Chain A
Amino acid sequence: MSRKRSLMPDVYRTRKRVCSGPQNSEASNQDSESLDNDEWENDDNHNENSNFPSDTKTALLYLKNLFPMDKFEGRLPPIILKHQIYGIIKNRTLVDKDVADMRNSGEIRLFKLGSEASEFCIVFTEDYKSHVLRFTSDLSIGKAVIDKYLTTVVTNCQDICMNKQKMTHDFHFKDEEVTQLVKAGVLTVRDVGSWWLAIPSAGLYMKSFIRGRKAVLTMIRKSKYKEILQAELEVRKLPKVARLGMTYHIHDIIGADLVECVSTSSGQLLRLQE
């Protein structure tokens, strides 16, 4: 039969055993359990781009390395945005599942950035704890309160927001202690009696991030036909306020669906979406 190179469901694919590493086989095992017929293996986890890691955890570590710690002089922990992973690993459902698993096991924490954006940012728990300790050692907040916060709330509770009931009954915080935590920047006021968990001095990050994203999008918008080759975008320089680096922002705009990736013969092209 003549077969054009069209899409075919997996049942017709020759079942070659790809010798993948332990992480990949673990991920593909999870998928094959979800299908009833385990003959139909799902090999959708493999990526075309061989430079990038093919597992959510390795993607997170790679993005964490991209974060320029030196530019911020240690005042921020490495912050990763959840949608940056979507640009690296194509299967979004799998990424969401892995992130939820890592969150439940306590490895990472999710935070909500600001009131407009419905985006979540990910910080590794150890980085968050060391950052909070470093930040509050400068201020005059009692160390006991911070330690109590770190041991109870950060370790046990995985939510992104807290309300008064939880703080007083479940974690036994008094009102003055809560006020101190707000002053320290660890809690941000959301509503009466309800707070977001936050990263202290996150405003510094948000400023760089918003400026940088706006600058990258303006660069693409100004080009003819509102598209640019990724290789060409990488060599352009961002303004000095945007300290996060071009690669970080490229992952951000790809994952947030602000640009469309088109693969061409001269590399990947990024086209601005309306």
Chain B
Amino acid sequence: MGRDPRWLLPLIALSLGGCGGPQSALDPAGPSAASLHRLGIIMYVGAALVTLLVTVLMLVPILRPRERPVNRRLFLWGGGVALPLLTLTALVPYVMTVGHETRAATTSNQVSVDVTGYVYWWDVAYRRPDGSRGAASANELHIPVGEPIELFLHANDVIHSLWVPSLAGKTDMIPGRVNRMVIQADRPGIYRGQCAEYCGLQHTLMAFDVIALPRAEFDTWLAGAAQPAREPATPELRQGRDLFVRLGCGVCHAVRGVSEARLGPDLTQVGSRRTLGAGTLPGGVGNIAGWTASAQHLKPGNAMPSYDQLEGPQLRALAAYLESLQ
């Protein structure tokens, strides 16, 4: 036992390093995650106390073998019945209330969003007041800070599960069902989510970003997202748009004002997307070109074919056009 205990320090630092960051249930950023976090702390501390108690009781007869006999009745009724009954009676009703924020009632003026899981990406569509499909995005959910946001969760093919640990617990997305969930972010920032129900080959590359903005910025963003895509301004961009149409990208992708399909992510604002392929690559023109030319190499088994038959300048024009859609 004479060893220098300092070797523990890097280990502790390493494990604490995992506590923060954009995807952590230990660093809650919304009421639902906060109440889950509180429950977690109670459970960890409670479990540690129980372990300690049991250890001490176990050691007593070992260390003091010839002491007076214990009171069996107290032990059985006290430790075996009363203690669990008391803790569970207190705990169960408490646990029932934990995370109830995710089931909060709808309020007027609330932002409502349909999120649909596809293999292996997320469709995001803002509901208009009349309930119809408004501005759309993919793999990114912009929300205003400090407000409960209502999500309607759907699945297009298999079961997925939406989990943004910093904001709330998991909620499954089940084909043929609509699950409702309310989330809220208390500080502006970017919170990473991940599909939490194994859904196939590329389940790991099915990430999600929640981008929490102050209300005014959110309104500006939403108004922009509801506009038709920007008209191409240069000959190269026009060539890019023509290729987009001619190559059939629009059979799967929507670009507001150009195409309407929904078999792939909405690309109306793909130029400002933080990631491509649900977290596979960062955004930007270089990555758009790489993805378009080799989607199957980068994310094997995803639903988009690799466009490896293009000539260099065509690929560049296409990527430049998509990059211009901000």
A is bound by B:
no
Give the B-binding residues of A (Cβ under 8 A): none
